[in-house]
Chains A and B, each alone.
Chain A
Amino acid sequence: MSVPPRLLRVLLRIYPRRFRERWREEILRFWRAQWEEPRYAGVIGRLRYAADLAWDALGTALRLRLGLRESSPPRWPSTPDGPPPGELTRLPGGRGVLPGWRADLRSAFATVRRHPGFTAVVVGTLALGIGATTAIFSVLQSVLLDELPYHDPDALRVVWTTGFTDGRTGLAPKTALELRDRNRVFEDLTLVRPVISMNAVASGRPETVRAQPVGANFFQVLGVGALRGRTFSDGVDQPGAPLEVVLSHTYWIRRFGGDPSVLGTTMSLNGQSYQVVGVMPEGFELPLYGEEDIWTPRVLSQADLDVRSYFSDKVLGRLSPGVTDEQVASELDRIADQFTDAMPDIHGNLGLAAGALHQEVVKEARTVLWMLFAAVALVLLVAWANVANLLLTRNAARASEIAVRRSMGASRGRLVRQLVLEALLLAGAGGLLGTALAAGAIPVLLSVAPTDIPRLDAVRPDAGLLAFALLLSLGTGLIFGLPPALRGSRDTASALRSGDRRSTLGRRGRRLLSGVVALEAAMVAVLLVGSGLTLRTLNELTSTDPGFEVTNRTRMRLELAPERYPDVESMTRFLDELLPAVRALPGVRAAGTTSTLPLTSTGITIPGPVPSGETLPENRVRARWDDVTPGFFEAMGIPVLAGRAPAEHDLREGEQVIVLNRTLADELFPGGDPVGRSVGWSSGSDSLMIRVVGVVGDVQHLGLRKEPMFAMYVPQRQASFAWPVLELAVWAPGVSSATLAEALRRLVRETDPQQAVTSLTPLTAVLRESVREDRFRMRLLVALGLTSLLLGAVGVYAVVRYGARSRLREIAVRKAVGAPAGRIFTTLLVGGVAPVTVGLAAGLVGSIFAARWGSTFLYEVEPGDPATLAVAAGVLAGVALVASWLPAREAARTDPARTLRSD
């Protein structure tokens, strides 16, 4: 087998054109002949061949292109018999006069090992920068950039109802099915319900699983088939059909160990029998609701088919080929109008809209992740700046060593090659270490990340990431190794002649160093200010009063299956059995339910009521709607400011009552007492009159940052539509949360054995969870800020130290002639602190702009907040001062006589 000729021709191009033209054929023949040599046989041999060729080509090409002679040793005066004895002449090298790349590698290794401190600093710096960048990039890649694991994912859309709440509302199944029949733009539509917890019993062992009910055609719409077995049969979502379940790959491995014989067996879910029909491929998931273990059929009950009152399902659709988004929008408008005409009461102001599935999945995560990437990029830049400076100073300090090597006949090309090799070694080590750091950091990152960053479990370090890190490090080595190498190997003959053992970079070089330090300081300043702002934001958030109490309070969330609880009455019956039992538990002072717990989700927002008799205003306010049971406000510690809360005697058939929050009460009845007044939803004589019986305190529904919204509470018994979620709040001081949790679970089981408990946590956890994103941002920025500060300190220290060393003679002379040590100390100190100050000022200004860009993340603190800026500046200046002080002091203390004598 012979060498691929294409590769050789490509390699040839490395040479300058004239050389290539002259020697082309010869070199090609030479290489082909070389290939036949026995030492290049076998796989190892082939690698050796490639390395030998590349190395020789690189060295020669470099030499030729840079116009360097192979060696330009000084010309010695000579006699006819040769140079006079006693003169130093060039010694032929030892083993291997023209060593190949292997010897150069060994030499580079030796050099790197000789300076362990320098090596450690450079490798560590690069590892931090490259590691951080790689870690964040891997998250970005999986979450934002990777395609969703479906067939042709760009054609997938999510359809939602507009006009009902501020967020995305789902569709009622009846509406969705009609949409499916009537539309002309979608190939197919399927229903998806939120993930619920179910009690699963398989092979005798019970556990809680997360199940996602989906339509029978779900897998077809997404275009993904089962890995084992099959997906749902048509009609599995019809009432009465035999139930099937499809497992996710992760669950299949975790629970059944990947055993294929699980197919065909039955599983009990919430007491009903499901047949396991298939397993999905690895990585298949629907990241809209969090992780799911299994998919169950979204069985359509009779109520689903008759009534439109639940907006319970999300609708996924695949566009027909060639359909544009404008066509989709106008089609949805057309169909929404049909619904409105048919059912004005229910669908009055509502419409339909669609968005790309990928958008829906990533929309929240996008800003956060890009912001983090920007922060990490800053850290990488600081790391690079450090490495550049370190390499510059180091090569300058080695000038004498380099000069000696030159005089011994080492060509400039070879020297450059060796210096670059050293830089590549350092960069490669930094990259490897950084990748290891990233691999370790990613799980930590994921564990503290907010759960609503989707697709996090798809994040894992992979080959692409390694390639990214390697490219980054090799690029670093070349970019930051080559210029210092070229510079350092330049005119060193003069260095030897002048006897100045410590060659320097000169004034221009030192200014370059200072400039880089200033740049670093600017970037560190931005990161520090960012850290400070997020710290303050988190502080402000956690000290905001949410409007309810959290001590000794527990929250239990129950998601009711619409099949078993299709209407308000059935839910009332459930609560009538559960709540008294809960209140009877020892230690329970109050307990009650609501439909949406504050700080947990957007909840239900509907057009607000108006005082009876008034005409409907142009812009009606929208108000949060909750149905509550007696005891809720007391359990949550929400004060009743006037009148009373809903009570047991507010029956369904009785007088319709309502409770307003203070903001809504002030809006509807400014200055007056709302208690006893009536409100309604439409004007005219046939409007429903509802009496206001109480006013309660405002609560932060949507988040600690937001303004309190208008909110109204109706008794659960009198709710006009059933929301299939119950949030139970229990106030039980003195009872341990574990005891209470167990008791609550037991009571739920006793009331309805098939009802799963979705979550059961202290209310403090709800509060903490609501700021999880802010906490995550804060922690990351602080970590990055401190890292960059450390790197910056190292950079300043190195530069000042180099500055001191390179001016050792000058300092010694000054001291010898009697200059006070203090002056010298100050000069050096200023040399380190001055560029930092300049950079700091620039960085502070820059941070204001950066903060403005991310201002949505701030709370109660301005981008230009003086206190934060001052603290950041103080920290940076202080650290720079210390980093400059140490080497300056050491230099000022050196004995001048010793320095001068040793020359």
Chain B
Amino acid sequence: MASTSDPADRLPLTPATFQILLSLTQGPLHGYGIKRDVEERTGGMIRLGAGTLYAGLQRMEDDGLIEEADTPSEMKEEASRRWRFFRITSLGRSVLKAEVRRLEADVRTARALLPREAGS
């Protein structure tokens, strides 16, 4: 667990963490909502189970990447179900951006080493 707030120390992110943070950039979500969002975004390739998700959320909260949020006003009807909502922190945003930059570097490296395929 990183004790500094240098985002780069938390890289690379696990796939679960990456996807969860990505979902939360669009606004606060509850756990199940995050799962649906990730599923839709990846076309069903990544299916987060309850354990994986909440263990991940727990760890990200401990690391300061996310925090619990109040139920957004526009979702008040669902509030009767009393889901817990989460939102990304500024540290979380920084880490996410750092990760994206790292992945871009990976892709650049890979493209440099592999022959360019037609149309790719």
Contact = CB atoms under 8 A, between A and B. Distances in A.
Interface string A45-60: 0000000110111011
Contact of A96 (B8, B35, B45, B108): B45
Contact of A89 (B8, B12, B14, B35): B12
Interface stretch (A20-28, A189-197, A220-228, A527-535): A20-28
Given A73-B12, A78-B8, A98-B15, A85 B51 contact: no
A60 B15 contact: no
Residue from A56, A57, A63 having most chain B Cβ neighbours under 10 A = A56
A93 interface: yes
Contact of B50 (A34, A71, A91): A34
Interface in A77-108: 78, 80-83, 85-86, 89-93, 95-98, 100
A29 B83 CA distance: 8
A455 B55 CA distance: 57
A29 B56 contact: no
A27 B46 CA distance: 18
A96 B105 CA distance: 22
Contact of B101 (A22, A52, A82, A93): A82
Contacts of A92: 15
Given A70-B59, A89-B106, A26 B52 contact: no
Contact of A409 (B14, B30, B32, B102): B14
A621 interface: no
A33 interface: yes
Interface string A181-192: 000000000000
Contacts of A85: 105, 108-109, 112
Contact of A98 (B12, B48, B98, B101): B48
Contacts of A31: 50
Interface in A402-417: 409
B115 interface: no
B59 A82 contact: no
Contacts of A53: 49-50
B11 interface: yes
B116 interface: no
Given A63-B55, A78-B8, A30 B47 contact: no
Contacts of A63: 55
B55 A70 contact: yes
Given A22-B58, A30-B32, A97-B46, A82 B102 contact: yes
A64 interface: yes
B16 interface: yes
A19 interface: yes
Contacts of B56: 70
A90 B12 contact: yes
Given A73-B12, A82-B101, A95 B45 contact: yes
B37 to A, nearest CB: 13
Given A26-B83, A34-B32, A82-B105, A57 B51 contact: yes
Nearest to B112: A85
Interface string A425-451: 000000000000000000000000000
Contacts of A15: 51
Contact of A30 (B15, B31, B105): B31
A74 B12 CA distance: 10
B81 A70 contact: no
B110 to A, nearest CB: 9
B53 interface: yes
A61 interface: yes
Contacts of A57: 49-51
Interface in A692-742: none
Interface in B10-66: 11-12, 14-16, 30-32, 35, 45-56, 58-59
B106 A52 contact: no
A80 B51 contact: no
Contacts of B47: 52, 98, 100
Nearest to A96: B45
A664 B8 CA distance: 105
A57 B50 CA distance: 8
Contact of B49 (A70, A80, A100): A100
Interface string B55-95: 11011000000000000000000000111100000000000
B41 to A, nearest CB: 12
Contacts of B31: 26, 30
Contacts of B45: 95-97
Residue from B9, B82, B106 having most chain A Cβ neighbours under 10 A = B106
Contacts of A80: 8
A26 B54 contact: yes
Residue from B45, B55, B102 having most chain A Cβ neighbours under 10 A = B55
A23 B108 contact: no
Contacts of A83: 102, 105
15 contacts: A25-B82, A26-B83, A26-B84, A29-B32, A30-B35, A34-B50, A56-B50, A70-B14, A70-B55, A82-B102, A85-B112, A89-B106, A89-B109, A97-B46, A409-B15
In the A-B complex, the 6 residue pairs with the closest CB atoms:
A56-B49, A60-B51, A82-B105, A82-B102, A97-B15, A30-B50
